[in-house]
Structure 1
Amino acid sequence: MSEITADTPHILVVDDDARLRALIQRYLGEQGFRVSVAADAAAARKALSSMAFDMLVLDVMMPGESGLDFTESLRRDGKEVPILMLTARGAPDDRIAGFESGADDYLPKPFDPRELALRIRTILKRAAPPAPPTTPVAHAVQIGPQWFDLERAELRGPDGPVRLTGGESALLLALARKAGEVLSREEIADALGTPEAGERAIDVQVTRLRRKIEPDPREPRFLQTIRHRGYILRPGA
């Protein structure tokens, strides 16, 4: 077991299944994480009011406020803590609902604890604040007042880094690598490593990304839809 320090990532696990909570808490603790648990959204809110967490592992189906509703309320309140959803329903519509609510990733039940730990580490790595560049960024695409660094897959604005979810970052990277070219939804899905994703799943990610890069997401200037063909990123000031 790794030594627990002040820099050790602190995970909040929210699940109404006491046995599963205990199993996740023990396993992630063995993997070097600090882990707190909550049985429902109300308990999670109380924990969030008194402690800062690096990430939430959140069950979708809970009594009272569901994981989807809880995630939506956190995002409305401006809380950008990364969220990994656990769901017993792995159908595409259920996964899309998770992304629409603002989740960073999802993991269907039952799952291998090793995959859970791997996904947590991946999400935390993406969410880590980037170090300020010491030299001018050579491989970057301008999107209004923001710049997207293709080598680091990071979006920066006048006030510093802009946090993207893993899906948003991968989508912007795929589009930025072929800026000025139309990418079909199938090409985007392949670039994201999710060839099974349907058109609606891609559209959801595009909608969420537009909220981060467009002055008016309803009238996109940079990430535009090309009817019957797909999407195109048009860089510019």
Structure 2
Amino acid sequence: MPRARPGAADVELPHLLIVDDDERIRTLLARFLLKHGFLVTTAAGAAQARRLLAGLSFDLVVLDVMMPGEDGLSLCRDLVGRWGMPVILLTARGETGDRIRGLEAGADDYLPKPFDPKELLLRINVVLRRAAPEPLPSPTAPQRLRLGDMIYDVERGELQRDAGEPLRLTATEAGLMRILAAEPGATVTRLRLIEEAGPRGVPSAAQERAVDVQITRLRRKIEPDPRQPRYLQTVRGAGYRLATD
């Protein structure tokens, strides 16, 4: 959850974790992001990041891929799988294949080095907006959608089983669900999903692949048999739609 800056009453600020083995980058990013209204904690590697995660809560992690010891992709998978935490990857490798591997690890965005801190700031704000609760739906819109033994709460953007067990969604997965659940049964084009929930600064072919990867991950959480999707359906040549019970 966001935390208040010490001395600022009733002001909640997003808390970011910067993980990079380059001390200069950590210091520069921390100073820059602090000036732009964030709380910032830094870690020199995955081991230190894990120690911090054991005792602190973060709203987003900016994570270097190439680090000594455990690399960023391994840590990213754990951040997403265990905590459902938004992740932006940083790396000196900017090839499309490397970006795809980062997005397949669950990252919400991917920024090659060297980069402009202002671009990182924009991407952080985009990912945080995706993860934030949406405005209340109109009174005529369904507020709870049934998907087999699961319920999707449109107002809260939360997915849970009948027993009340919540399912963690990444920021991108949550964004896709919000878009599809806003018009249950209607086809949403891949272009719209890419524009509203896809990664920024990635070639178009990679964006399409990244959205498909996130849809596949979402199906694993929703579908009784992800190979034969009942709820998150592909509309061939058009896009996807969310079918409900």
Structure 1's 82 and 140: CA in aligned 2 closer, same or farther, altered over 3 A?
same
Whole-Å separation in 2 of the counterparts to 1:56 and 1:24:
12
The equivalent of 1:32 in structure 2 is 37
Matches of residues 19-168 of structure 1 in structure 2 within 5 Å?
19-76=24-81, 78-128=82-132, 138=141, 142-144=145-147, 145-147=150-152, 149=154, 154-157=157-160, 159=164, 164-168=169-173
1:12 deviates by 1.2
CA distance in structure 1 between the aligned counterparts of 2:127 and 2:93, rounded to whole angstroms:
21
Shift of 1:230: 5.7
Contact residue 126 and residue 165 of structure 1 kept, 8 A:
no
User: 185-194 vs 87-96, which deviates more?
Assistant: 185-194
Structure 2 residue runs of 5 or longer lacking an equivalent are: none
TM-score by length of 1: 0.77
1:162 Cα offset (Å) = 5.8
Alpha-carbon distance in structure 2 between the residues aligned to 1:196 and 1:135: 33
Query: 2: CA distance between counterparts of 1:223 and 1:209?
Result: 8
For structure 1, list consecutive stretches of 5 or more residues without a partner in the other structure.
Answer: none
- In structure 1, C-alpha distance between the alignment counterparts of 2:233 and 2:137, rounded to whole Å: 33
Question: Structure 2 CA distance, aligned partners of 1:137 and 1:18?
Answer: 53
Q: Secondary structure at the match of 2:42?
A: strand
Distance change in 2, residues 1:87/1:160 (3 Å): same
2:230 matches 1:221 = yes
Q: Which consecutive aligned stretches of 4+ in structure 1 deviate over 6 angstroms post-superposition?
A: none
AA aligned opposite 1:62: M
Between 1:138-147 and 1:97-106, the stretch displaced more is 138-147
The percent of aligned pairs where both chains have the same amino acid is 46
Deviation string, structure 1 residues 67-112 (Cα, Å, up to 9, x no partner) = 0011112334x21222111122222222221221122222222222
CA contact 1:171–1:188 (8 Å) conserved in 2: yes
**Aligned alpha-carbon RMSD (Å):** 3.5
User: Structure 1 residues 175 and 93, CA, compared in 2 at 3 Å: closer, same or farther?
Assistant: farther
Number of residue-to-residue matches in the alignment: 231
Query: In the TM superposition, what is the alpha-carbon distance from 1:117 to its structure 2 partner?
Result: 2.0
Q: 1:202 aligns with which of 211, 216, 219?
A: 211
- TM-superposed CA distance for 1:169, in Å, is 4.0
Counterpart Cα distance in 2 of 1:43 and 1:191? 34
Aligned counterparts of 1:129 and 1:183: Cα–Cα separation in 2: 20
Cα separation, partners in 2 of 1:200 and 1:116, compared to 1, 3 Å: closer
Change (3 A) 1:23 1:137: farther
Verify the 8 A CA contact 2:64 2:90 in the aligned structure 1. yes
